[in-house]
Structure 1
Amino acid sequence: MSKIEVRNVYKIFGSHPSRWLDAARSGMSKEELLSKSGHTLGLRDISLSIEEGSIFVIMGLSGSGKSTLIRHFNRLIEPSAGQILVDGEDVLSLGKTALERFRQQKMSMVFQRFGLFPHRSVIENAAYGLRVQGTGKRERRERAQHWLEQVGLAGFENQYPHQLSGGMQQRVGLARALATDAEILLMDEAFSALDPLIRREMQDQLLQLQAQLDKTIVFITHDLDEALRLGNRIAILKDGELIQEGTPEDILLSPANDYVQAFLQDVNRGKVLNATHACAEPSLTLTMRTRPAHAVERMAALNFKYAAVLDGKRLSGILTREAGERAMRDGARDVARYVEDMASVPATAGLDEVLGRMLRSTEPLAVTGENEEFLGLLSRSKVVELVTPALEQSDEEHDAAGAVENHAA
């Protein structure tokens, strides 16, 4: 279910944006618009659907329009054209009083530079949004205290912002946003001012909190590693236009153009992609009750050396073609006694971990989900292809990929 719908939004900065809207719609470039009119194209025909309970990342370089876009959601910036719907309600139709209520109750914002009041204590800063809402002093203090504890700041309630590190100040900002119990969090470059180690800790903190709270989070960043780590979906902007939108895997495996590909050059794909992305196709599964002749016939038809054997949905092991032929000679009614143990990796294992397993052993590997549910057989050549898409594979990688690939020569 969509929480936020962005429909055909345009933003032109200048004294008479409506006069130049048709030019922007007809495709006039940002540079030409500026030179002819003195107006700046902020956004061009942006449409997005943000699912409830997801972390939606909007990314791009400086000047791409990402911060401009997020400020449309709570009407800190008014669009030149288009619609912003939140829970089906057109935000642009809200009057002054309704808009104030919407900002106080529906959305909270976490800023890059923390936005704390230097003359207020930590707990007063954390409670500020509740104060604006009109919450009583006792309740807002209790709620602020709760969220300070959740973000790891118990004991710092009476400190002042200048007494805290940058990471701790950002935690106060996050506690303040969470304390209002808003359904949507807008996070504009919230972690970009932090040192890399602190930034990683804040990403972990956000993911842990999201697992508990299931908020709708719109997260702005210029860092693709951060986007890939946090986002359920990612939108990439360039010069005010939407270049590509999709899951992290969509963007990593199928970049829309050279601009997106340039972002991907230094990404550690092994940490983003997991074992499920490297399952072999086609796959063949048998059951413990499969007749030996049928098992051998199916493996021979696909030119497979082995097949996974299941007990219900769970992986029981592996049947080699040789073992199936032996079962036929023995006159066995099914393959159950001829199934051998098979190593497996969890679906969540990153490809860097999988590649390490591959290089240590030439045994076939299954990919399993919860309760050992079988998801597929690992394709060694596909692992290498995904981890090193733009590089020539080393001889060692070729050997690892081809050693026991299921497709027999």
Structure 2
Amino acid sequence: MSGARPPGIACRNLGLSFGQRTIFQHLSVDIAPGSFVALLGASGSGKTSLLKIIAGLAAPDAGTVSGSDGLPLAGRIAWMGQRDLLYPWLTVMDNIMLGARLRGEKGDREWATHLLERVGLSGHGKMLPAALSGGMRQRAAIARTLYERRPVVLMDEPFSALDTLTRAKIQTLAAELLVDNTVLLITHDPMEACRLSHRLLVLAGSPAHIDDSHTLVGQPPRAPDDPNLLTSQGELMRQLVRAAE
């Protein structure tokens, strides 16, 4: 990332339906530049659909998405999904630089090497993904996301497959490495949301609307035993349970 401030995200009057079911309508939300925001909600509430619309991977029935600067987000977004999606026949280094290869660009090996060091995989660049643990593969996926140097990062449950301890470590690493980005994270984990976020968004109802009434104290990443974090986590969990009933 350069020293330039990343754009925020502006969604205006979005509408989406599948057949006779309206997922959301007249949905508007702003995500501040440089903020880390978690998006939660029951399964089927439209979280991934909203993320794909923002990414330009799906088209809404109505409404618009742009950067907070009024410019399109196309070309300014990096995506990190639930699975690491590393190609098993490519080395870790080649996986990290895959985007440049697919675009026909000369890869920046120096930048990729720096990112490998940042995620604690220095010396593993020539290995194949099969030789890595789940946590190491996820760190490689973070490096691949950062390699793109995109100011906006969209993440769809990227840490859900990890064990509790590894997940906590990767959460802290992601918070550190993505501090200069605008990040929107889908998660089903209230602890993860409250640890990493500046702001919480909850999709609820049918059609879904956004509840952003939760207030988080302090700056991420918050310690897992922070009393304010535990209070926020409990409040958020209670809301999600009520919404699912």
TM-score (norm 1): 0.50
How many angstroms apart in 1 are the aligned matches of 2:76 and 2:142? Answer: 16
Once the two structures are TM-superposed, the CA of residue 135 in structure 1 deviates from its matched residue by 2.9
Q: Which has the higher contact order (CA 8 A, sep 6+)?
A: 2
| 1:117 match | 87
Unpaired segments ≥5 residues, structure 2: 218-223, 236-245
* Match status 1:66 vs 2:23: no
- Tell me by how many angstroms 1:162 deviates: 1.6
Name the structure 1 match of 2:220: none
Residues 134 and 195 of structure 1, relative CA distance in 2, 3 Å threshold: same
Q: Which has the higher helix share?
A: 1
**2:239 aligned partner:** none
Shift of 1:56: 1.1
Distance 2:181 2:138 in 1: 18
Distance 1:268 1:146 in 2: 32
Secondary structure of the residue aligned to 1:6 is strand
Choose which of 272, 293, 297 in structure 1 pairs with 2:229: 272
Unaligned segments of structure 1, at least 5 residues: 15-38, 92-101, 251-266, 275-385, 387-409
User: 1:114-162 CA deviation, whole Å, 9 max, x = no partner?
Assistant: 111111110010001222344314xx22222111111111111111112
Partner of 2:8 in structure 1? 3
* 1:83 pairs with one of 18, 39, 64: 64
Q: Would you say how many aligned residue pairs link Structure 1 and Structure 2? A: 220
Contact 1:43 1:69 in 2 (8 A): no
- Cα distance in structure 2, aligned partners of 1:65 and 1:48: 14
Taking the aligned partners of 1:223 and 1:73, their CA distance within structure 2 comes to: 22
CA contact (8 A) 1:106 1:182 kept: yes
The 2-side partners of 1:176 and 1:240 are apart by 36
Give the aligned partner of residue 244 of structure 1: 211
Alignment of 1:291-310 (within 5 A): none
Once residues 167 and 126 of structure 1 are traced to their aligned partners in structure 2, the CA distance between those partners, rounded to angstroms, is 15
Aligned counterparts of 2:181 and 2:90: Cα–Cα separation in 1: 27
Q: Which amino acid aligns with 1:46?
A: L
Quick one: distance in 2 between partners of 1:13 and 1:73? 18
Contact 2:27 2:210 in 1 (8 A): no
**Are the counterparts in 1 of residues 55 and 154 from structure 2 also a CA contact under 8 Å?**
no
**Which residue of 1 is the match for residue 183 of structure 2?**
217
Larger mean CA deviation between 68-77 and 141-150 belongs to 141-150
Aligned residue in 1 for 2:221: none
Give the structure 1 partner of residue 192 of structure 2.
226
Tell me, yes or no, if the aligned pair for 2:157 and 2:186 is still in contact at 8 Å. Answer: yes
1:43 aligns with 2:24: yes
Matched residues in 2 for 1:168 and 1:223: separation?
Answer: 21
CA contact (8 A) 1:108 1:184 kept: yes
Choose from 119, 139, 144 the match for 2:112.
144
Looking at structure 1, the residues matched to 66 and 128 of structure 2 have their Cα atoms a distance apart, in angstroms, of 38
Question: Which residue, 76, 82, 85 being the options, matches 1:106?
Answer: 76
Matching residue's letter, 1:187: M
Q: Quick one: distance in 2 between partners of 1:236 and 1:7?
A: 17
Letter in 1 for 2:71: E
Tell me which amino acid in the other structure corresponds to 1:83: T
Distance 1:247 1:148, change over 3 A: farther
RMSD over aligned CA atoms reads 2.5
- Distance in 2, matches of 1:226 and 1:6, equals 24
Checking the alignment, whether the CA contact within 8 Å between 2:198 and 2:216 is kept in structure 1 is no
For 2:25, what is the secondary structure of its paired residue? strand
**In 2, Cα distance between equivalents of 1:181 and 1:64:** 31
Match of 1:163 in 2: 131
Q: CA deviation at 1:247?
A: 5.0
Structure 1 counterpart SS, 2:44: coil
Pairing 1:207–2:207 present: no
Q: Secondary structure at the match of 2:169?
A: helix
Q: Distance in 2 between matches of 1:47 and 1:194?
A: 33
Contact 1:113-1:190 at 8 Å conserved across structures: yes
Task: Find out whether 1:181 has 2:149 as its counterpart.
Answer: yes
In the alignment, which of 52, 55, 62 is matched to residue 36 of structure 2?
A: 55
How many Å apart are 1:270 and its aligned residue? 1.4
Normalised by the length of structure 2, the TM-score is: 0.82
SS in 2 for 1:249: coil
Once the two structures are TM-superposed, the CA of residue 3 in structure 1 deviates from its matched residue by 1.3
- Structure 1 position 268, deviation (Å): 7.3
Q: Amino acid of the residue matched to residue 63 of structure 1?
A: G
